[in-house]
Amino acid sequence: MPEHPPLLPFDLMLAIYLIAIAAEAMSGALAAGRRDMDIFGVAVIAFVTALGGGTLRDVILGNYPIGWTQHPGYVYLVIAAGLVTTLVAPYLHHLRRAFLFLDALGLVAFSLIGCQVALALAYPTVVVIMAGMLTGISGGILRDILCQQVPVVFLKELYASVSLVVCVLFLLLGAAGLPADANSALCFAGGLTLRLLAIRYSWQLPTFSYHRRWD
């Protein structure tokens, strides 16, 4: 996902970013494991899940050079996180819960960082929100497509809408004058809580089902 963690007081967003890319790399590794992929496949899925959304965002926004090309340590981190997951996964008794929690961390953190990147580039509000959502959900979509699954963003509990809420709240609190680090921390905690509650209580948007035959 994103590769340009904004510089905020106490490096809060950098810390969130590093946690997020490691978490998403682990979620990618778990998804790869469900498809019985080899170690190379695990590393690729971990990389795409963690850094793919931010790469896509930067290409669309024209934000060059792509961040991870300038910071190879991010690549080492996500691949290491993915490979470590293959070692610890047999000892995790609730893999689905672990997967959903790690994915939730990445979703919220990347949504915030996507907003920060677009704001730094002086894009209009609607583009900032879309950049945040694109960063938040794209890595998971790429992961699920490569693992031959319907992306979780299109199914079940609130997902993309959580990213939307986080992005809008971040902009509103920023406009109200809340310090950047407090704003990030509050939105991160609130967004993560909302996503976990949506999983726990199966909160979801109305679905559309259409089964009539085409004539």
List pLDDT tens digits, range 91-109: 877 878 888 898 899 999 9
Look at residue 5 and tell me whether its pLDDT is greater than 80: no
Q: Summarize pLDDT for 25-58 with one digit per residue, the tens.
A: 999 999 999 999 999 999 999 999 999 999 999 9
Distance CA 157, CA 198 (A): 6
Let me know: does 173 contact 183? Beta carbons within 8 Å.
Answer: yes
Look at residue 185 and tell me whether its pLDDT is greater than 60: yes
Let me know: does 50 contact 21? Beta carbons within 8 Å.
Answer: yes
- Tell me what pLDDT residue 6 has: 46
Distance CA 158, CA 201 (A): 10
**Which 3 state secondary structure label does DSSP give 174?**
helix
3-state helix, strand, coil in the chain (%, to 5): 75, 0, 25
Percent of the chain with pLDDT over 90: 72
- Tell me what pLDDT residue 81 has: 95
Distance CA 86, CA 94 (A): 15
Let me know: does 32 contact 85? Beta carbons within 8 Å.
Answer: no
Distance CA 190, CA 62 (A): 30
- Write down the pTM of the prediction: 0.87
**Rg of the Cα trace of the chain?**
17
- Tell me what pLDDT residue 147 has: 94
Sign (positive or negative) of CA dihedral 139, 102, 191, 116: negative
**202 to 32, 50, 152, 159, 160: CA distances (angstroms):** 25, 25, 13, 11, 14
Q: Taking CA 90 as the corner, what is the angle to CA 86 and CA 91, rounded to the nearest 5 degrees? A: 115
Distance CA 162, CA 31 (A): 22
